[in-house]
Amino acid sequence: MITPDLHKKPVGLDREKHKNLKLRRELSNLRAAAGLNALFLTGAEFGDACKEYPILFLNAGQDEQGKTQVAPVAVFGVTQGENLFLQPDGRWDAYYVPAMLRAYPFTMARLDADRFVVVFDESYDGLSETEGQAFFDEQGEPTEMLKELRQFIENIEVEIERTRRAGQRLDRKSTRLNSSHTDISRMPSSA
């Protein structure tokens, strides 16, 4: 899932175009969250995340079928652009770092119903053609590092889909619950 406030310049990873691309892992990827006051969480993260951050469920519009989408987010700050967890030296001031931020600069994007592509933020300064760990080997095959990253972001994408479905169920349940409540203001008062 591409998050525009995080993935500022998303590009699909291409074996030919990016054959010399490398990742400098010694650089902190957490600085990318400097202006984020909230970030999407998957349901699988709730147990760890709720110990560190308030979790809000936001209306995220509707999907292609017109179903309401709910997005759970970890709150990092109260005002727009405020992140109280990112310290000036680049450290994260919480034990738990949300999965989407740990995966940065990588994520996945859906090409169609059954196909995804690995995407990276081209603006991330930890990418290089001269220094770091290679994405592809001399034969153009993914390196172990890239395979591990891909597996991690695939797992996140699976959890995102589970979280979307759970959000839809919660929305349906709350809609039914709200429509079945009796309006106590219309009930006769006992004197």
Q: What would the pLDDT profile of 60-82 be if each residue is shown by its tens digit?
A: 887 778 777 888 999 999 999 99
Supply the pTM of this predicted model.
0.83
Report the residue count for the chain.
191
| Residue 143: count of CB within 10 angstroms of its CB | 15
DSSP label at residue 51: T
How confident is the model over 127-173, as pLDDT tens digits? Answer: 999 999 999 999 989 999 999 999 999 999 999 989 988 888 877 77
Place of tokens 């996140």: 156
Categorize the per-residue pLDDT at 180 as very low, low, confident or very high, splitting at 50, 70 and 90. low
